[in-house]
Amino acid sequence: MVDEDDLRLEIPSYAFIALARRGMEKISLDQCFLDNCDNQDMSLLEPIKKEVQEDEKKIIKKIHIRCKKCNRVFILKLETLKNVAKSTKSKEEEPLPMGLVYALDENGKNLGHIGYF
């Protein structure tokens, strides 16, 4: 049995969306990203499963979430790129990671890039 609270901790609270040259906007990930659903109530979202893939360049987590309002499942794909930037001051510092968030439908069809975490 998957512990819903543990899976909820794997999901960032928000992501940042690029606004062209006007900076970034913060968006909550506690909502349903499926078409024709306006659910923004975290209590109606139930994380049900997690998949993890990792290689030397990135970690991909797919969190399957059931929306109790539209009774459908969507997937948050959290892709962490491990080595995006390195310090110019010290060779001993760890490289900085960067996270990207995508929404997928339950069949894995990409619904679009949501933002960065």
Write out pLDDT tens, residues 99-112. Answer: 999 999 999 999 99
Q: Edge-to-edge strands of the sheet including 45-54?
A: 24-28, 14-18, 110-116, 96-105, 72-85, 58-67, 45-54
pLDDT > 60? residue 1: no
pLDDT tens track for 19-67: 888 889 999 999 999 999 999 999 999 999 999 999 999 999 999 999 9
Q: pLDDT tens digits, residue range 55-95?
A: 999 999 999 999 999 999 999 999 999 988 877 777 777 88
pTM of the model: 0.87
